[in-house]
Amino acid sequence: MITDIVAWVVWGGMFGGAVLLWILIYDRHRSVKRLEHDAERQLHLIKKEIEAERREAVARLKDELHKRRTETAAQIRKEEVDLERLQVTLNMRSEKVREREIKLDVLQQTLQNNERSLARLSDQLRVSEQRVKTLGEELTTKLEGISCLSREEARKILLKNLEENVLLSSKKWVQKVEEEARKTAKERSIQIVVDAMQRHAGEHIAVQTSGVVTLPNEEMKGRIIGKEGRNIKALEMATGMEFIIGESPESITIAGFNPIRREVARRSLEKLLKDGRINPTRIEETVLQCEHEIESAIEEYGRNVVIEFNLQGLKDEIVMLLGRLHFRTSFSQNVLAHSIEVGRFARTIAEELGLPNPHIALRGGLLHDIGKALSAEIEGPHALLGADIAKRCGEDQFVVNAIAAHHQEVPFESVYSPVVLIADMISAARPGARRETLSTYIKRLEKLEEIAYSFDGVKKAYALQAGREIRVIVEEQQLDDDHALILARTLARKIEEHMDFPGEIKVNVIRESRAIEYAR
């Protein structure tokens, strides 16, 4: 019985194990089926993606092919149009070449005909010359018999009469040529001057340095003066300028002859007003800083001119003097701007005249007023001062003479000197160059001539060169050479006493005797 029970238990266990094993195998089979199904689905998705990408790539490829085909077709059409245009041009040129060939053939035929006519005329001329020679010999023999003169004597008389006639004709011809040349030269000179002014007629506003400083308020005057005037005294000591505090509201006037020191004073005062700290120590520091700034500005202005005109070999001394001219004015005209303008005018005139080296005219015009940078420190005419500086710095001889002679204080040594003189007059006299009113200008010239006429023995007096020269012609019987020299000195002293003028005025007294007769 126990054995049966054990058997049944064993069989039951085996059956349960078999069932469990079958369940496990079935679950594994389902899992494998699920995995196969998932794998097939993933494979299907991948195939769809690959197919989509393939289709997209094919579409892109088709678009690219269509784009390339379109571009290629457009390029081909463009090249065809260019080719047609070139073909038309080539055909036109071929037609012109054929026309020229026809004209050349006609000219060659005409030339051949002319050569044949010339040969015939040459033969006829040779025969005529032979006939004239024979007739001349016969006539000479008859004349010798009639006049009782030999051939040599008759030749001398004929040559003498011919020489007199030729001299008379040549004098008349030379006179006529001189008159025509004078008329043509005047018209040409006017045209050259007008061309020079038109080529450089652009509007130009020169920088003007002012000697007036505007204050933010009236209270700043007290701070600038300082306790017992120590601040303003420190300013005047450091700058060398005079600070005038007048009744004009909220402004201070800076007075002084040196334009650079005046600019240093102006900048220093403006810096102090912005800073607010005004005391003797700060004033000295600010003035020193502004002096360094002005030196740098002077060098920069000079270098800019050198770069603008590509000036080679210009010494540093001249570069600095050019920069100093920026702070100098003449009749309210900025001297550096005036010098640049004169250089351009001189170069243009030289080019119009066909001179071999217009650069000399440019250099002479640019440096013609270089002496004004030192005229406040060294006595003497600025033209001669500038010429000495240019000569010392190794400038060309023609440039030096152009600088020295631009006020006709020395003779001209080359054609470039009068060119610079003319350019200087154009720049100074053109409308708007100088701010002196016409009435003031005329009054100053009239005053100058009036002073000259106040002396005995003066026959004529002319104010020249915008009042920079007074030319006086005296009675030669009333004044001798010694009295003429005394008159020049006395007139110069009287002008200094009764007139205010920039720079200097040249007093030129002329005494001459003339002998005049008339041929009737």
pLDDT per residue as tens digits for the range 370-400:
988 876 567 678 888 889 999 999 999 999 9
Give the model's confidence band at 402: pLDDT under 50 very low, under 70 low, under 90 confident, else very high. very high
CB atoms within 10 A of CB 8: 10
Tens digit of each residue's pLDDT (9 = 90 or more) over 82-140: 899 899 888 898 888 888 889 888 888 888 888 888 888 888 888 888 888 888 777 77
| Beta-strand relationship, 212-214 and 329-330 | unpaired
Predicted local distance difference test score (pLDDT) of residue 401:
93
Q: Which of 268-272, 290-294, 421-425, 499-503 has the lowest mean pLDDT?
A: 499-503
pTM: 0.50
What rounded mean pLDDT belongs to the chain? 81
Report whether pLDDT(193) > 60: no
As a whole number of angstroms, the distance between CA 345 and CA 361 comes to 9
As a whole number of angstroms, the distance between CA 135 and CA 127 comes to 12
Give the model's confidence band at 330: pLDDT under 50 very low, under 70 low, under 90 confident, else very high. confident
Predicted local distance difference test score (pLDDT) of residue 431:
52
4, two tokens = 């049966």
End-to-end CA distance of the chain: 194
Chain length of the chain:
520
Q: For tokens 């997209």, what's the residue?
A: 56
Tens digit of each residue's pLDDT (9 = 90 or more) over 155-180: 777 677 777 766 666 666 666 666 66
As a whole number of angstroms, the distance between CA 342 and CA 336 comes to 10
Q: What is the DSSP letter of 326?
A: T
Predicted local distance difference test score (pLDDT) of residue 184:
62
Tens digit of each residue's pLDDT (9 = 90 or more) over 405-417: 988 888 999 989 9
262, two tokens = 């005046």
Predicted local distance difference test score (pLDDT) of residue 363:
92
Predicted local distance difference test score (pLDDT) of residue 209:
47
As a whole number of angstroms, the distance between CA 321 and CA 373 comes to 6
Q: With pLDDT > 70 as the criterion, what percentage of the chain qualifies?
A: 82
Q: Taking a C-beta distance cutoff of 8 angstroms, is the pair 369, 407 a contact?
A: no
Predicted local distance difference test score (pLDDT) of residue 366:
92
Q: Taking a C-beta distance cutoff of 8 angstroms, is the pair 322, 404 a contact?
A: no
Report whether pLDDT(201) > 60: no
For residue 509, list its beta bridge partners. Answer: 472
| CB neighbour list of residue 332: distance below 8 Å, 6 or more residues apart | 208, 434, 435, 436
